[in-house]
Structure 1
Amino acid sequence: MNQDQLKQLVGRAALDYVPAGQILGVGTGSTVDCFIDALAAEIAKGAIAIPGTVSSSERSTQRLIKHGIKVLDASEVTGLAVYIDGADEIDGRGYMVKGGGAALTREKIVADLAGKFVCIADESKLVQTLGAFPLPVEIIPMAAAQLTRRFAKIGGTASLRAGVVTDNGGHILDVRGLSITDPLGFEAEVNQWPGVVTVGVFARHKASVCLLGGAGGVKTLTF
């Protein structure tokens, strides 16, 4: 199977984690697009019934609405049973790098509401150590040069993602050359740097389950 077929495979597999009759947290990205399409098909058949969703991006919101699925604002809910989202990297402990689609801040907000994070990804996203994928960091624009220097001090080469403005009005630094062996400590440290809105390491909000698509089908990893 090619990568698009693997995304469709794990998108359908994630339907088993949709909590019946409860509001669902929905992430962002091409794999999540496949999940949204599969979810809409099941709702149309009457196989799944949910009162609505909380979305982590304008992109996903528009896709959900197009399918006739209700989208609630995060402020309208006090908690979610499940959040389903993809990852750019995930390690053997469930720690992730996210933000390739520039939605990392809202993704963390929705993940923070959820009791369970279900990650859907193809097998190429599974790594031993986070950092091969350029680490996305949402920043306040005026801090770009300052933060670039701070990342250089720890061995990272940061560059602004050209032409990208997040749903929050922030910019994205992509940081290359890092090996993130302590995701929890790294996330806590970088989040304190002035000008950082969110760092794309999801350690505090790590995956509970990962549905990993490969040539042999979908493998379920639990953490």
Structure 2
Amino acid sequence: MNDPKRLAAAAALELVVPGMKLGLGTGSTAAHFVELLGERVRAGLNVIGVPTSEATHRLAQECGISLTTLEETPELDLTVDGADEIDSALRLIKGGGAALLREKIVASASRRMVVIADGSKKVQTLGAFRLPIEVVRFGVEATRRAIIAAGAAVGCSGDVSLRMDGVGHALVTDEGHLLFDASFGRIPDPEGLALLLNAVPGVVEHGLFIGLADEAFVAGEGGIERLVRPAN
């Protein structure tokens, strides 16, 4: 097991105990966690999971993991998910896999969120990875301009463009929305930007996850680094 993503997933798996209600993240690193969890389930571990995307739902079913919904199980014990960027305060950019809305809902319904990542995702300042922003279809250009203005208000600038799928159409999320990717390069005030984006009427959700991750396992050449969110 030399893949850093799988090593991080294995570290998080040690936190899982019988009877847990789990949030199952989306993306390549989270997929490793689901696969490893499936091995434990097939060996007799009794847990139940809420997937954060249709892709994770399919993978979890293939791995034999029992699934539920937040309607049936509105409070979860632990969510394990990846991140596109993570800083030392455990602020995240997520949404590269287009599942940020469900991911944030599931994380918010969990008593604890643990992030798993390889060392390339750890940054000093968020923003090199394009910030995903999920929007409704109506008034999409007006919403794009409002996003640009929100970024400018906190010192961010860069292209804000619709994410496209593999055949040249605008990508549609599992919830039927569109996605903008904001190439800000650097976000000096993530909290301020999050508040401004929350106030844009056409924005459904954004990929800034602030105050949600409790700890992270980051796998690098030196092994696993465990990060804990600083106390307020």
Name the TM-score, length of structure 2 as normaliser: 0.89
Selected match of 1:34 from 32, 35, 51? 32
Task: Map 1:203-214 to 2 at 5 A.
Answer: 203-205=210-212, 207-214=213-220
Alignment correspondent of 1:49: 46
For residue 72 of structure 1, give the secondary structure of its aligned residue in structure 2: coil
Give the unaligned 5+ runs of structure 1: none
For residue 80 of structure 1, give the secondary structure of its aligned residue in structure 2: coil
Alpha-carbon distance between aligned partners in 2 of 1:105 and 1:20, rounded to the nearest angstrom:
28
Alignment correspondent of 1:122: 118
Q: Contact 2:20–2:78 at 8 Å: present in 1 too?
A: no
* 2:190 is the counterpart of 1:183: yes
For residue 138 of structure 2, give the secondary structure of its aligned residue in structure 1: helix
Alignment correspondent of 1:70: 66
Relative to its length, the structure with more helix (as a share) is 1
Alignment correspondent of 2:93: 97
Alpha-carbon distance between aligned partners in 1 of 2:11 and 2:54, rounded to the nearest angstrom:
24
Shift of 1:178: 4.5
Alignment correspondent of 2:160: 158
Deviations 1:45-84 (A, max 9, x none): 23x321x101111000110011111111111113111110
Q: What is the aligned residue count?
A: 218
Alpha-carbon distance between aligned partners in 1 of 2:51 and 2:62, rounded to the nearest angstrom:
13
Shift of 1:6: 0.9
More divergent stretch after superposition (73-82 vs 98-107): 73-82
For residue 107 of structure 1, what is the amino acid of its counterpart? E
* 2:81 is the counterpart of 1:85: yes
Tell me which stretches of 4 or more aligned residues in structure 1 moved more than 4 Å. Answer: none
* 2:228 is the counterpart of 1:200: no
Alpha-carbon distance between aligned partners in 2 of 1:58 and 1:122, rounded to the nearest angstrom:
24
For residue 174 of structure 2, what is the amino acid of its counterpart? D
Q: Contact 2:42–2:64 at 8 Å: present in 1 too?
A: no
Deviations 1:18-52 (A, max 9, x none): 14212111110000111111111122223x321x1
Selected match of 1:135 from 127, 131, 137? 131
Give the unaligned 5+ runs of structure 2: 166-170
* 2:65 is the counterpart of 1:58: no
* Identity over aligned pairs, percent: 40
Deviations 1:154-195 (A, max 9, x none): 123100001311000001100002422222222122011011
Q: Contact 2:147–2:200 at 8 Å: present in 1 too?
A: no
Q: Contact 1:12–1:35 at 8 Å: present in 2 too?
A: yes
RMSD: 1.5
Selected match of 1:169 from 164, 169, 176? 176
* 2:22 is the counterpart of 1:24: yes
For residue 41 of structure 2, give the secondary structure of its aligned residue in structure 1: helix
